[in-house]
Amino acid sequence: MNHAQVIQALIALMAAFFVLILSSTVVATSLPVIITDLGGTQSDYTWIVTANFLTMAISTPIWGKLADIFDRKLLIQLSLGVFTIATVAAGFSTTAGFLIGTRFFQGIGVGGMMALGMVAIADLVSPRERGRYMGIMGAIMGLAQIGGPLLGGVVTDGLGWQWNFFLPVPVAVVAFALIQARMHLPRHRRDVRIDYLGAILLSVSMGLILVWMSLGGKDAASGGFPWDSAESILMIGVGGALVVALVLWELFGTKEPIVPLRLFAQRTFALATVASISVGVTMFGATVFLSQYLQLARGLTPTESGLFTIPMVVGSLLSSLVFGQLITRTGKWKGLVVLAAVVLVAGLALFGTIHFDTSMWLVGLYMAMLGIGTGGLLQNLVLVVQNQLPAKQMGAGTGAVTFFRSLGGTVGIAVLGSILGTSVKDRIATGLKGIGIDTSAASSLGSGASVSDADPEQLRSILGLVHDGTLRPLADAAAADPKVVDALGALSSLSASGGSGAADPAQLEQLFGLIATNPAAAAQALPGVDIEALAPLAQAVQNDPNVLSSFGALSELGGASGAAAGGSFDPEQLRSLLDTIHSGSLDQLAALVQQNPDCIDTLGTLGSGTLPHMADLCEPIRNVMESSYGDSIANLFWYCVPLAVITFVAVLFLPNKPLGRKTAAQQLEEELGAELVALEPIDAEGDVAPVEGGPALDEPAVVGAPAADAGTGRVTRIGQNDGHDDSGARA
């Protein structure tokens, strides 16, 4: 293919990549909104991202191996079709669970495009010349990366997040048509067997381990389980055993492994794979939480958060373009890759210092550094590996590198998401306690199991009574004698005995006085009433008449007697409320609500487990939430710094092998040609000797030179036609 044809084929391929990146970037900025609208949790947020990377990681080496066997163009179209259908289905999600399911299928398509796309580029362009075309690819991908977040934010704010999944569909249709019309890849079908057992072992083992990482250490409400639970031990035990079985099978049980582990004997492949794993954790695992930082820690809208990701995208675009051009012109890649690794380490370390109030100029600078680091490493690590791989293993080898990079990203998202969920929960609880909100204490205010179930007006009334001290006498009395709460329950028998006026304060004062001074007379006056049970409350009223006022205030909230009988407060909940008031745990909260009345509505979101809209929170609570998310996400970047250092060390020791000038298709033709030459007798001069009884050969059949067809003397070139099949030549 000439330069113009290569450009057309790459444009078709980049159109497909454009769809993948666009669909990912337009959704990334709206994920916090999606989770909130679907009633999801932090665990759901992590799973929506993890599901995609899970199936992408698992399917990538399978697609790569298939590329060594079947028509690569057809496989690219198939993976694009799977992705597009799953994307459309995601737009119709009504629950977080359904959206997670569609993301699993999206990942299968993404895995195919990631592996097959790089193999197709290797077929079309030599390693030395690839930098020139990477510039074109970087421009198109950069357009999707820059425009995607902004477009996603505008669409989310204007039309709704569902349209973020529908927008890439027309582009996908155009990409499919361009691939069909413009992409003409050479066909080199080989007679090999598909490693079905390896594919099954890979899928099940990686699936179990990644699910274990995602759900381990979480409570049942989040769909998780303790690390030391039976489910956890069984899952990691079976997953680990299957990984051992996979390694043994791939090394000794099959000649065509899905994951060619023997390639790790090559220093270049091993070091580049280690570096790719670390980059995958950084790129996928850390940056995926940037949207949460911008929206939950900085209070930005989806549109604004999309705009603020531009520095990272521009950094990635420029490093990809500049590094690619320099590699093409000079043929030197080692220094540029090491430089990218240094910038990545520095960017992650600086990102670990951010807070919810860090200057956005600094955040933008750190983003640009992350973009430069990842942009200079991602494609160039694949380039270095492809430069070392035999042509026959180009698909499997490229798929393996992409697999380990995706695996690193998937594990990174799962682990970092689990850390973030735990860290945010602890920081929020500590921060809220600092402003007087103890969620465990506040749970006693409502009629349900948590404060999120409580009636806001009831919360407001109770906290008002706490603030002005109305409920303090009753709380102190209950603390002095726990039987006071039981006495409140006994008041319900007054109505049953006909004492309907018992709730009148004056009558209650007389009744309690009579019970305290002459219990026998009280029993005669109120037959059927448990006077003994009422005695503790009567004594408390005698000791402090304000207890009666406290009781009256509770009666106005729903009736203390009715509450004790199972109305607004059950006995245990009432006891918990009074204990909390007595301890003073609600004093600071009551003062906070008096100063910020809108906080009473915010309290209903606490303990619900869902990600809140920051704009809906009152200022004191919003500051706590933003600080908690900001500091927790900053810590995630610190956790990635050691991995980035590993990347730096790995690329530092990569062999500095010059880049080749032949495409993978040309290399494969030479390898197949060498096999043909090996099948023919060789004379002493090194030429192909005529077969006994056969026609004379007009020209020597050497690799890359015209070869005479047997029995005709007609000269043809191996792999000359686009659709050449080497099986005919072998025959």
Give dist(CA 200, CA 240) in Å, integer: 14
- 636-659 pLDDT tens trace: 888 889 988 999 999 999 988 887
pLDDT at 342: 94
Give dist(CA 62, CA 109) in Å, integer: 12
- 654-670 pLDDT tens trace: 988 887 776 666 666 66
pLDDT at 502: 44
- 27-76 pLDDT tens trace: 766 777 888 888 877 667 767 877 877 787 778 788 877 877 778 888 88
pLDDT at 503: 53
Q: Which amino acid is at 289?
A: F
pLDDT at 494: 56
Name the region of 498 (left: φ>0; alpha: ψ -120 to 50; beta: rest).
left
Is the four-CA dihedral 692, 695, 700, 705 of positive or negative sign?
negative
Closest to 444 (Cα-Cα) out of 483, 492, 473, 485 = 485
Q: Across 68-77, 206-215, 624-633, which has the greatest mean pLDDT?
A: 624-633
pLDDT at 430: 85
More confident residue, 613 or 198: 198
First to last CA, the chain: 27
Percent of the chain predicted with pLDDT > 70: 74
pLDDT at 20: 79
- Please state the three-class secondary structure of 400-446 as a single string: HHHHHHHHHHHHHHHHHHHHHHHHHHHHHHHHHHHCCCCHHHHHHHC
- 484-533 pLDDT tens trace: 877 776 665 554 444 444 456 677 777 778 788 888 887 777 776 777 87
DSSP state of 297: I
**262-267: average pLDDT:** 83
pLDDT at 680: 42
Give dist(CA 535, CA 512) in Å, integer: 8
Closest to 295 (Cα-Cα) out of 100, 99, 157 = 157
Q: Which amino acid is at 186?
A: P
More confident residue, 292 or 274: 274
**131-142: average pLDDT:** 62
pTM recorded for the entire structure:
0.68
Chain mean position to CA 580: 39
Q: 685 falls in which pLDDT band (50, 70, 90)? A: very low
pLDDT at 482: 83
- 567-582 pLDDT tens trace: 445 677 778 778 888 8
Give dist(CA 110, CA 98) in Å, integer: 19
Average per-residue pLDDT for the chain? 75
Give dist(CA 641, CA 634) in Å, integer: 11
Instruction: Give 330's contacts (C-beta < 8 A, 6+ positions apart).
Output: none
CB-CB contact of 459 with 600 (8 Å): yes
Q: 338 falls in which pLDDT band (50, 70, 90)? A: very high
Measured CA to CA in angstroms, residue 400 lies from 269, 389, 394, 688 at distances of 10, 12, 10, 38
Instruction: Give 142's contacts (C-beta < 8 A, 6+ positions apart).
Output: 313, 314, 316, 317, 320
Give dist(CA 18, CA 193) in Å, integer: 33
Give dist(CA 109, CA 84) in Å, integer: 8
Angle between helices 72-90 and 168-182 (to 10 degrees): 170
pLDDT at 242: 92
DSSP state of 682: B
- Please state the three-class secondary structure of 218-244 as a single string: CCHHHCCECCCCHHHHHHHHHHHHHHH
Q: 445 falls in which pLDDT band (50, 70, 90)? A: low
pLDDT at 674: 54
Residue 695 corresponds to which tokens in the numbers above?
Answer: 């026609």
Q: 535 falls in which pLDDT band (50, 70, 90)? A: confident
Q: How many alpha carbons lie under 13 Å from residue 569 in its C-beta half-sphere? A: 29
pLDDT at 624: 87
Give dist(CA 10, CA 31) in Å, integer: 31
Q: How many alpha carbons lie under 13 Å from residue 28 in its C-beta half-sphere? A: 29
The 8 Å CB, 24+ separation contacts for 257-260 are 257/65, 257/195, 257/198, 257/396, 258/61, 258/62, 258/65, 258/195, 258/198, 258/199, 258/202, 258/396, 259/61, 259/198, 259/202, 259/396, 259/400, 259/403, 260/393, 260/396, 260/397, 260/400
Q: By three-state DSSP, how is residue 688 classified?
A: strand
**150-161: average pLDDT:** 79
Q: Is the pLDDT of residue 424 over 90?
A: no
DSSP state of 92: T
Chain mean position to CA 361: 26
Rounded to 5°, angle at Cα 341 from 347 and 335: 135
pLDDT at 241: 94
pLDDT at 569: 54
Q: Is the pLDDT of residue 213 over 80?
A: no
Place of tokens 């210092």: 353
Burial class of residue 720, CB neighbours in 10 A (0-12, 13-18, 19+): exposed
Closest to 59 (Cα-Cα) out of 29, 91, 82, 90 = 82
Q: Which helix (H) or strand (E) holds 707?
A: strand 707-708
Q: Is the pLDDT of residue 700 over 80?
A: no
